[in-house]
Chains A and B, each alone.
Chain A
Amino acid sequence: MSTKDADQSLITTDVQTGSRDRTDRTHETVVKARNLDVYYGDEQAISGVSMDIPEHEVTAIIGPSGCGKSTFLRSINRMNDQIDVCRVEGDLSFHGKNVYDEDVDPVALRRKVGQVFQKPNPFPKSIYDNVAYGLRIQGKADEVDLDDAVERALRGAALWDEVKDKLDSSGLDLSGGQQQRLCIARAIAPDPEVILMDEPTSALDPVAASKIEDLIDELVEEYTVIIVTHNMQQAARISDQTAVFLTGGELVEFDETATIFEDPDDDRVEDYITGKFG
C-alpha cells in the first residue's frame, strides 16, 4: 500500500501532465481512511483502503468499472447510509473524527462535505431556489443576504452570466452542462469544505465537460475536491493526487498525479493506464 507516499508532497510534479504545482504548500489531511472495508450484503466493494486526502487539492480516483471508487466517495459523506445493505468497517475520518462514530450526524457531515453527481440532478424548482435550497434547509438563509449568496455561488460555478436574467425559470430548462454547473453552484452555496464529484462530466459533451474541468481548477482554491472519473486524461489534467482502485475495491496506488501517470510503482497501474486492462 502506498499511502505513505501521500505525505511526500515535496516532490516537484512534472508540468507535462498538466498537474498543477501546488506542492510549495504542505496541506493538512482532511479525509483519512484506514483499513476501510465496505460491503453490500455479502459482497465486498472496498477492501482495506487507507489513504490521506489533502485539503485544497484535487484528488482524483480512477479505476475500472466496479472497482469501488464511487462507493469510496459515497462513504465519505455517508450517502451509503441510503443503501440498506451497505456496511462499513474500519476508519474513515474527517478532520480526525471518524464519520462512522455513533455521535456523528450524517446530516451535519453532509453540510461540510458536498457532492456533485454523475447525472445532473437539479430540483424541479427555479434556478434561484435550486441554489438557495442548501442555505434554506441549513438555516443559513437568515444569516446571509440570500440574493448575494446565490449570485456568489452562481459566479463560483461560472454560470452567473448565462442565467442572471432568468433566475426564476426552472433549473430543468437549462442544458446538461449548465445543469451540472447549477448543481455545483447548489453544492458550494452553503460553503462546504469538501466537494465530492462522482464522474461529473460523464453525461456531458466535451465542451461542457471542459468547462467543468476549468471550474474544478478554480474551486480548489477554496475547497478540497475529490473526483471520481473514468477518464484518465481528465484525471491527469485536473488532479494533484491520483488514487488508482482496481477490481476488488483495492487501492493499488496513491501518489502525485505526475508520478502515477509517468512512473507508477505498481505494474498493474501501468497496465491500467496504458490501457492493457480495465
Chain B
Amino acid sequence: MSTESHHESGAGISGDGPVQADNEANRRARRILFGCATITVLTTLAIFFVLIDNAASYFFGAKLTEMLMGASPEQTVTFTEFFTGTRWAPDHATPAHGAIPIIFGTLAITVGAAFVSIPIGTATAIYLSEYAPDSVRSKLKPTLEILAGIPTIVYGYFAIAFINPVLVAPIASALFGINMGRYSLLSGMLVVGIMTIPMVSSISEDAMSAVPDELRNGAYALGATKFNVSTRIVLPASISGVFASYILAVSRAIGETMAVTLAAGFTANLTANPFGEIMTMTAYMVKMARGTTAVGTVEYQSLFAVGLLLFVMTLTMNLLNDWFKRRFQEEYR
C-alpha cells in the first residue's frame, strides 16, 4: 500500500495498518452477505413449516404445534378421501374433500400448456440460435422477453376478452355445437402455453448458443445441412439446458394462478371437455383466499393442504431437473 507502512513494518507484509482496516471491511461484508443468504433460506423453511403445520390441522384437526402442546389429533379429512375423492367442495353445505378434480385441472392445464410452449418454444430457440440473421435476432429476442414480462393478470384478461370469446367459443359452437360459457379448459391451456413460450425459447436459446462452434463446423464440413446441424448436433448437445427450460415452463404452468383462473374458471368439474369450465389448485386457492372464509375452519385449512401439494409438485420438478442436469450435461474442453 503506502510507502509509509512499508517503512514501519519492515517488509510491509504484516497485518496491521491499512491492511487491518481492509480486513475488517472484508469481514463486515462477509457477515452482511451471509445474513442475506440466511434470510432466503429461513424464509423458505418458514413457508414450508407453515404449510405443513396448517395442512396437519386440515387432516388431523390440530396443527403440529398444537399437537406438540398436547392436543389430540382426530381425523377430519382422510388421506384416502383427499387423494381419491372425485368431488371437491370443502366450502359446500355438504362438504366433500376429494382433490382429484382440482389436481386433474392443474395437470390438464399443465400438459395442454406444454403442448403449446414446448414445440413452439423449441422451434423458436432453434430459429434464433441457428437460422436467424443477427438483425432479426436482435429484434426478436427482446420482443420475446417483453412477452415474458407481461403481468399474468393481463394474460388472464387477454383470455377472457379474446381467446375464449373470439378463438375458442366460435370453434366450440361451429364444430361441436357446444354453447360455451365464459371459461374453458382449452383457453386456460392456450394462455398458459403462450405465457411460457418465452421461458422455453429464451433458456433453450441460451443453451444452444453455448454449444461450441467447433461442433457445428465439424458437422457442416461433413456436408450437413443447417437442419441436420440444428436437430442432430446442437439440440442433443444442449439437451440438458433445453430440458431445464421445459421443467421451468412446466413448473410455472403448475403454479400459474391469475391467468389460469380467469381463463379456465372456478368450478371444480372433473372433465376433459376442452370447452368446459374447470378449477385448478391455484384457482381454488384464489377463490378461498378472497376473504369470506373464516380462519381456522376446515375449508380455510384446506388452502394449506392444497398449497403443500402444489409445493411438493414443483419441488419434484426441480429435483427432476437436477437429476437430468447431472445425467446429461456435457463437458466441453
Contacts and interface: CB of A to CB of B under 8 A. Distances in A.
Interface of A: 77, 79, 82, 84, 107-111, 114-115, 117, 119, 121-125, 133-134, 137-138, 172, 183, 186-187, 190
Contacts of B228: 137
Q: What are the 3 A-B residue pairs with the smallest beta carbon separation, nearest first?
A: A111-B223, A121-B214, A115-B221
Nearest to B211: A124
Interface stretch (B156-164, B229-237, B260-268): B229-237
B223 A134 contact: yes
Contacts of A77: 221
A122 B332 CA distance: 10
Contact of B219 (A84, A109, A111, A123): A123
Contacts of A134: 222-223
A13 B236 CA distance: 49
A148 B222 CA distance: 19
Range, interface on chain B = 20 to 34
Nearest to A134: B222
B49 interface: no
Contacts of A122: 218
Contacts of A186: 218, 222
B115 interface: no
Contact of B214 (A109, A119, A172, A190): A119
A79 B219 contact: no
A231 to B, nearest CB: 21
A186 B237 CA distance: 18
A83 to B, nearest CB: 11
Contact of A110 (B221, B232, B233): B221
B223 A187 contact: no
Contacts of B134: 84
A78 to B, nearest CB: 9
A79 B214 CA distance: 12
Interface in B185-240: 212, 214-225, 228, 232-233, 236-237
A190 B217 contact: no
Interface string B137-179: 0000000000000000000000000000000000000000000
